[in-house]
Each structure stands twice: as C-alpha cells, then as structure tokens.
Amino acid sequence: MTEATIALEGRRIHRLRRYTLWTLVTTSVFVLMPVLPATGGLALPVLVPLSAAAVVSGVQRVRLVHQAVRDTGHPGGPRAEHVVTVAVALLAWGAGVALDPAPVTWAFLPALVGGAVVLNLPSRWRVRAALLVSVLVALVCFAATPLRDAAGGPWFPWLVAALALGITAFLTLVDVAQLWFWDAVVEVDRARAANEELAVARERLRFASDLHDIQGHHLQAIMLKGELTERLIGHDDEAARAHATELTELARTALRDTRRVVRGYRTTSLDTEITNAVELLGAAGIEMEVRGTLGAVPPPLQDLFGALVREGTTNILRHSQARRCELALDTEGPVARVRLANDGTSAHPDPAGSGIAGLRERFATLGGEVSARPSGEGWFELCGTARKPGGGDA
C-alpha cells in the first residue's frame, strides 16, 4: 500500500469519526428542544434549577459522547463523573415528573444522559445497560404519575410509562448502534493496519532468508578459494593465479546476487546450484555423486530445490568433516524429492538453525517439508519434498 493510499484511508477514518461524533452530539440539541419549553409553566424557584439541570445534562452528554468515541475499543467502567451526571439528570427528571403537567417530556433527560453513559461501558454490556435504563425510567414514571395527578384515569400511568420506555429505549439504542458501527470501522482499520505490518514483516523475513542463503554460500566459497590460493602460492603459482581469478569472480557474483535480492529480481537455477555444489565440494576434497534426472524437476520447484542444495552445500563446507556426498533427485509420482547426504554427521550442527528454518518456511508455503537428521552409519541427510504443480507426474 502506497503512502498516498494510507493517507487517503486516514482521512476517510477521520471524516467518519467526525460524522459519528457530530451525529451523537446533535442528538443532544433535539432532545433538549422539547424539554426546555416544558419549563415555561413552572414557578421561578423551580424553573431555574430545572433549566440548569437540563443544560448541564446536555453539556455532559457532549463530553461523554466525545469520550466514548475517543476511547473506542478501550472503554472504562463507571466513573464518578458518570454517577454525578446521572444523579443530576435523575433529580431534574424526578422534579419534572412531579411538577410538570407533561411528565413524559422529562423522560428525555435520563434518556439523553443514560445513552451517553452507556456508550462508555464495554460493548458487551451496552445493549443490556440501555434496556435496563429504559425499564427503570418507565418504572419511575409509572410510580410518580399517580402521585402527581390521579385524575388521568387508570390507564394514564401505563401510557406515561410506555411512552417513557419507548423514548428512552429508542434514544439509547440508537446511540449504541451508532457507536457499534464506529467500533466496527475502527476494528477493520486496525486489522488492515495489522495486515500491512504482517506483510512488511514477512517481506523482511524473506529478504533476510535470501540474504542469508546468498552471503553464507558465497562467503564460504570465497573463504575456501582463498585458503586454496594461499596454499598454492610458492608451490604452483599458475594454479594460485587461476584460483585468485575465480575468487574475484565469486566476489563479483556475490555482489551481483545481493543487488538482485535487494531489487527482488533474483532467481535460483537448480542446475547452477548443483554445478556450484559439485565444484565447491570437489575443491574441498569432498567427492559428490549426483543421481536422478535434473530436467524432471518441474520449473516452479527449481528455485525451491536450488535453495536447498545451496544451504546444504554451505553447511557441509562449514560444519562437517565429510569425505563423500550424495545428491539424489526423485521425481516419480506426484511429489518431487531432493536428498543431500554426507558422511560427516559427527560435526553437523543443530538442524534447527536459521538456514534450515528458512528452508522449512519456504517449503511450507508450497505444501512441502524439509527434514535434517542423521540417517545412520555416520551419515547426515538434508531432504526436501514438495508436491508438483497440478499433483500429476512429471
């Protein structure tokens, strides 16, 4: 993903955040609109505190909504601020129900504040908390209405309670749904960011594995050629010059392959790797026997098995005391198999090293596997298997 795309996604998330926030905040204005006119028929000693409580409830809703949107994914539990806000709304609501001839109007206040407080709870509690707030508001409305006016008939308290329940449930559940959508968008955005980080990490591992294969193999070959050149100086200067020329060419090849890895263009030829292995092992005094038909290995697996031959050759040169080595290519059936064995098992390293681990990861991506273990009678084998493309015979 390019930087421009990332910036675009960031702007979209920011716009959606503002939309969610302003949608929830705007609800406060619409909720307060029917409440404030309802105070017009009240006496001044009652009007002032009730109006102040309504305004405070609206301001606190804005604060709590902003807090819920800001802390999405990391909500806290009830706080002192939440408790005080709910208490103020309940007091104003109770007074309104007892004194106002239109008591249902005051159900907007606990709905307003209750919805904002519910948003600051963990998501798994929000719906249940919203329903609980709605039921409590309805029950108190039902209980308070007969105390205020018994002339409304037997069904009047039920009507007030039902309206209060509907108003509170609607407002709080709309708030919960709005924030749920925002939470879902945030989770998707976080998952996208995590996938981007994972892709970067995988690419770094791939690059590190390729670099390990190249540098380890070439440096081992350069060291071997350097030692041979050093031994031949003064005894066979012509051969020493030839090895020095090969040494220079190996260094150039290492540099070229490293640049290709950096650019992502490097490919491995199984034929080239086997030729290099025979030459390097022969120069180290290790006899190598190759069995099987190279051309039978499917082209998509050439790079994979080439990496195995290169890693195995490097490990033999670096760690074993081998005198003989066998490379077997088996392409019969739906599975291709390459086995590299040597008789220097006593000095072989732990097969769980980074090179073998990298091979296992590469083979696993194609449904294959790599094993590295003693095979008996002082031999050690590195074996890789992979299913042929299409699963058919070669």
Whole-number CA gyration radius for the chain: 38
- The beta strands (E) that lie in 216-323 are given as 287-291
For domain 286-394, give the fold: Heat Shock Protein 90 (3.30.565)
Amino acid symbol at 200: V
358 or 204, which is more confident: 358
- Does residue 36 carry a pLDDT above 80? no
CA distance 253 to 218: 8
Closest Cα to residue 108, out of 41, 43, 174, 170? Answer: 170
Q: Tell me what pLDDT residue 107 has.
A: 64
pLDDT mean over 383-389: 89
The pLDDT mean for the chain works out to 73
Q: Tell me what pLDDT residue 153 has.
A: 62
> What band does 5 get if pLDDT is binned at 50, 70 and 90?
very low
367 or 156, which is more confident: 367
> What band does 74 get if pLDDT is binned at 50, 70 and 90?
low
Which tokens in the block code for residue 357? Answer: 């681990």
Amino acid symbol at 336: A
User: β-strands 324-330, 287-291: how paired?
Assistant: parallel
CA distance 218 to 273: 12
Q: Tell me what pLDDT residue 341 has.
A: 92
- pTM value is 0.43
